[in-house]
């Protein structure tokens, strides 16, 4: 892991709600984390816990008109993105912060060639002539290890495999040399062998450009391989953040522990994988107090009454649970 640089992206107490017919869905309900240059932070949690919504609200791409950022700050190199106007945000997207989406099949416009879609991204950054941009595009494809990049530029998305398309999406994402890259489950739609190559590729790009990466996934195998630190989300909030190794070895928050326990181990032979009973709460009907209380095996009435504060429990490691005793922060 490259030594982590200065803080590039800091999210402070972000609240982003969806106003639907049945009431207000509090998808992101007070999320805070920091992301350093060259570092990869994993954002994990069951599906529907608000991982993608967090990423979208950072980029101000919440689905109109339902989604709105209600409270909190998103500081990208010190500038708060929440207060920026739409045209200012346009200059930020792609150039200083970019994103890779989950399903490569639908990420590329079917009626335009791959080349034109890359050139379009490059034009945002470089005001060169078309053929200069095409050379840059060819270079971008070579960098994401696409064979024979020159012809591939003229190909249409449907003429490429899922893995190849995701590489193109990756090339587009880094074309503007952003400082922050959000990858929203980029490999879920790929088969296993291609997954590995893609993750290696992302690591190489990060090493070369020192960009900070927010990696959203529910696959702990990927977390172990890719992420320097991990933030575990549950029902719209981060319940525990810490170095990957620390979380894997000694998860302190009951939900993190339960998640870790339900991951199948290569070495141990297991008949039945432990699973967490119950369902995550409906995002538009939050219980009072700790949201994991209904499903927590160590719950007591305090957990049900009051939401636990965030408690530092180790070097860059904190959790919000009444059972966790604070230990002095290492630094």
Tell me the two tokens of residue 46.
């069951």
Beta-sheet strands, E only, within 48-175: 67-76, 79-80, 97-100
117 or 241: whose CB is closer to another protein? Answer: 117
Which 36-75 residues touch another protein, going by CB under 8 A? 59, 61
Q: Which of 10, 46, 77, 103 binds another protein (CB under 8 A)?
A: 103
The rounded distance, in Å, linking the Cα atoms of 16 and 29 is 7
Taking CB under 8 A as the binding criterion, the range among 83-91, 254-262, 292-300, 319-327 that sits at the site for another protein is 83-91
Q: Which of 6, 78, 85, 110 binds another protein (CB under 8 A)?
A: 110
Q: Is 87 in the site for another protein (CB under 8 A)?
A: yes
Q: Which of 40, 54, 98, 217 binds another protein (CB under 8 A)?
A: 98
167 three-state secondary structure: helix
The rounded distance, in Å, linking the Cα atoms of 53 and 62 is 7
Tell me the two tokens of residue 202.
């992302």
Q: How far is CA 169 from the centre of its chain?
A: 16
The rounded distance, in Å, linking the Cα atoms of 124 and 142 is 20
Taking CB under 8 A as the binding criterion, the range among 75-83, 103-111, 235-243, 251-259 that sits at the site for another protein is 103-111
Q: Is 121 in the site for another protein (CB under 8 A)?
A: yes
Phi, psi of 237 (to 5 degrees): -135, 155
133 or 311: whose CB is closer to another protein? Answer: 133
CA-CA distances (angstroms) from residue 184 to 71, 218, 275?
A: 23, 10, 25
92 or 324: whose CB is closer to another protein? Answer: 92
Q: Is 91 in the site for another protein (CB under 8 A)?
A: yes
Shortest CB 168 distance to another protein, Å: 10
Mark residues 168-207: x for contact with another protein by CB under 8 A, - for none.
-x--xx--x-------------------------------
Q: What is the CA radius of gyration of the chain?
A: 21
Q: Is 109 in the site for another protein (CB under 8 A)?
A: yes
Q: Is 128 in the site for another protein (CB under 8 A)?
A: no
The rounded distance, in Å, linking the Cα atoms of 253 and 238 is 11
Q: How far is CA 280 from the centre of its chain?
A: 20
The rounded distance, in Å, linking the Cα atoms of 301 and 17 is 28
Taking CB under 8 A as the binding criterion, the range among 7-15, 91-99, 225-233, 300-308 that sits at the site for another protein is 91-99
**Distance in Å from the first CA to the final CA of the chain:** 19
- Is residue 122 within 8 A of residue 140, CB to CB? The reply is yes
Residue 328 CB contacts under 8 Å (≥ 6 apart), including other chains:
312
Q: Which of 111, 147, 268, 270 binds another protein (CB under 8 A)?
A: 111
Taking CB under 8 A as the binding criterion, the range among 134-142, 166-174, 205-213, 299-307 that sits at the site for another protein is 166-174
Taking CB under 8 A as the binding criterion, the range among 21-29, 191-199, 209-217, 248-256 that sits at the site for another protein is 21-29
Shortest CB 180 distance to another protein, Å: 12
Q: Which of 45, 67, 72, 94 binds another protein (CB under 8 A)?
A: 94
Tell me the two tokens of residue 265.
């181990």
Binding site for another protein (CB under 8 A): 21-23, 59, 61, 86-87, 90-95, 98-99, 101, 103, 106-112, 120-121, 124, 156, 158, 169, 172-173, 176
């Amino acid at each position: 892991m490259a030594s982590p640089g200065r803080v590039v992206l800091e999210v402070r107490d972000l609240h982003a709600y969806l106003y639907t017919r049945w009431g207000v869905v509090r998808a992101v309900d007070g999320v805070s984390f920091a992301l350093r240059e060259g570092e990869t932070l994993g954002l994990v949690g069951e599906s529907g816990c608000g991982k993608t919504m967090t990423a979208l609200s950072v980029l101000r791409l919440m689905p109109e008109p339902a989604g709105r950022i209600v409270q909190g700050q998103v500081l990208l190199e010190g500038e708060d993105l929440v207060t920026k106007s739409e045209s200012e945000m346009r200059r930020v997207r792609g150039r200083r912060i970019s994103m890779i989406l989950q399903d490569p099949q639908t990420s590329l416009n079917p009626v335009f060639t791959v080349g034109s879609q890359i050139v379009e991204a490059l034009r945002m950054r470089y005001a060169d002539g078309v053929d200069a941009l095409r050379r840059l595009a060819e270079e971008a494809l070579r960098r994401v290890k696409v064979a024979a990049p020159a012809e591939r530029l003229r190909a249409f998305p449907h003429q490429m495999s899922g893995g190849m398309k995701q590489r193109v999406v990756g090339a587009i994402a880094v074309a503007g040399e952003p400082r922050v890259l959000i990858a929203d489950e980029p490999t879920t739609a790929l088969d296993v062998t291609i997954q590995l190559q893609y993750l290696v590729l992302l690591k190489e790009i990060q090493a070369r450009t020192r960009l900070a990466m927010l990696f959203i996934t529910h696959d702990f195998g990927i977390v172990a391989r890719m992420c320097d630190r991990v933030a575990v989300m549950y029902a719209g909030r981060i319940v525990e953040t810490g170095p990957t190794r620390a979380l894997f070895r000694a998860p302190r928050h009951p939900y993190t522990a339960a998640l870790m326990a339900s991951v199948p181990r290569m070495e141990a032979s297991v008949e039945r994988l432990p699973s967490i009973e119950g369902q995550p709460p409906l995002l538009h009907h939050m219980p009072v107090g700790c949201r994991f209380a209904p499903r927590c095996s160590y719950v007591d009435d305090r957990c049900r009454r009051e939401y636990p504060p965030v408690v530092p429990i180790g070097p860059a490691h904190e959790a919000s649970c009444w059972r966790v005793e604070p230990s002095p922060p290492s630094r």
